[in-house]
Amino acid sequence: MTSPFPDAAGPVARADGHAGEDLLAGYATGTVDPVVVWSVEAHLTGCARCRSALSAHVDAQRLARNRSVLLVHAALGDGGRVRRLLRRCGVPDHLLRLLAATPSLRRSWLLSVLAVLAVVTGAAAAVRYGWIPAGGPAGLAGYPDPEVLAPFLLVAPLLVLAGVAAAFLPMFDPAHRLAVAAPFSGFTLLLVRTVSALAAALVPVAGAAFVLPGPGWLPVALLLPSLALCALALAAATVMEPRAAAVTAGTSWALPALLLAATHVPLLIVQRNAQFACAVVLCASAVVLLARHDRFELGWMR
């Protein structure tokens, strides 16, 4: 490498063509002539030795601090495609990170949900398409075998409820006491988790409903009951112990579903009257929830 400082002598450059200590020190503290700065910088671009010599003139503590912050950022990572997309849509980053602690958003949970749905859907399809002989009389007008849908109708909203329950039950949050002892609003945390668990659970459920050999309005018809069940569970959690609340809500769906299935009219549970009842339950639960939301701030340590 030809010397960049051909006519120089003294502290400006050394005979070997590298920048001397004084020059580097002066560059680091900004006391060097601007024009000299340019040639130093151009030299540094190609010379690793002078680069590392320059490092000695930077505050070591500052370098160490930036290094550790950098490594933390790198360790935390970006969060994957879904999170990046959501962030671009304007969702605050810290809310997205909170979701990482929600069990019902994890791959393992979603896979189990899919597995259950696959079983139930598969069973219905098997009966419908005659792979397994069916029993019972023909049902609703225009639709031959409503009974094949009974297991799905029982299970689908319960799966959504289970996802939401996993998001708010303390038993699913190993660091629950930390969340209680922290200033972050317990109610906000709850809402963030349950809304995302809800969305994550409704997608496979709706998908299965599409695939199912049933009436076309089935996916939509499941929406209101699922929402009502989850709202009921949350509202009940403000009055009773959370596990009891989840069980109560689950039972309030399971019992009618089983009853109607036993009397051979399972689809009634998603028809007009039932939808109306679900809407009422949803509104009432929402009111109770909003009125008593401070109950979530203390935590359920009794």
Partner 1 sequence: MDEMTLNVRTAAVRVDGLSRRYGATRALDEVDLKLERGITGLLGPNGAGKTTLLSILATVSEPDAGRVSVFGLDPREAAERVEIRRRLGYLPQELGYHRHFTVAGFLDYVAILKEITDRRRRAEEVARVLAAIGLDRHARKRIRALSGGMRQRLGIAQALLGRPDLLILDEPTAGLDPEQRLRFRELLSDLPGDPVIVLSTHQADDIAAICPQVVVLLPGRVHFAGTPAELAATAAGRVWAAGERDTRAHLSWRGGDNRWRHIGDDPPAGAELVAPTVEDGYLLLSHAAGVR
Partner 2 sequence: MRPGAEERDDAALLRGVARGDEEALAALYDRHAGWLTVRMTRRCAMPDVVDHAIQDTFLALWREAGAYRGGGDVAAFIWGIGVRRLIDAIRRESGARRRLPWRAAEPPVVVSAEEQVLVGIEHGRLGQALAQLSPELRGAIEATVLDGLTCAEAAVLLGVAEGTVKSRCHRARLALRAALADQQAGPETPAHRREVWGTS
Site residues, partner 2 (CB under 8 A):
1, 4-8, 12, 27-28, 30, 33-39, 41-46, 48-49, 51-52, 54-58, 62-63, 65-67, 69-71, 73-75, 78
Phi/psi of residue 89, each to 5°? -75, 0
1 binding partner 1? (CB under 8 A):
no
Smallest gap from residue 297 Cβ to partner 1 (A): 6
Smallest gap from residue 198 Cβ to partner 1 (A): 20
Q: Give the helix/strand (H/E) hosting 255.
A: helix 242-262
Kindly give the interhelix angle for 150-168 and 107-128, rounded to the nearest 10 degrees.
170
Instruction: Build a one-symbol-per-residue string for 175-194: x at contacts with partner 1 by CB under 8 A, - elsewhere.
Output: xxxxxxxxxxx---x-----
Smallest gap from residue 187 Cβ to partner 1 (A): 11
Among 294, 166, 278, which Cα is nearest to 231's? Answer: 278
| Measured distance CA(274)–CA(160) in Å, rounded | 18
The entry of partner 2, partner 1, none that residue 141 binds, CB within 5 to 8 Å by partner kind = none
Instruction: Build a one-symbol-per-residue string for 56-85: x at contacts with partner 1 by CB under 8 A, - elsewhere.
Output: ---------x--xx-xxxxxx---------
Smallest gap from residue 66 Cβ to partner 1 (A): 9
Instruction: Build a one-symbol-per-residue string for 97-116: x at contacts with partner 1 by CB under 8 A, - elsewhere.
Output: xx-xx----x----------
- Are 140 and 148 in contact by the 8 Å Cβ rule? The answer is no
Name which of 71 and 118 has its Cβ closer to partner 1.
71
Name which of 187 and 286 has its Cβ closer to partner 1.
187
| Measured distance CA(242)–CA(238) in Å, rounded | 8
The entry of partner 2, partner 1, none that residue 89 binds, CB within 5 to 8 Å by partner kind = none
- Are 156 and 214 in contact by the 8 Å Cβ rule? The answer is no
Q: Residue 13, SS3? A: strand
**Per rule CB under 8 A, count of chain residues that contact partner 1:** 37
The entry of partner 2, partner 1, none that residue 49 binds, CB within 5 to 8 Å by partner kind = partner 2
Q: Which residues bind partner 1 (CB under 8 A)?
A: 65, 68-69, 71-76, 92-94, 97-98, 100-101, 106, 173-185, 189, 294, 297-299, 301-302
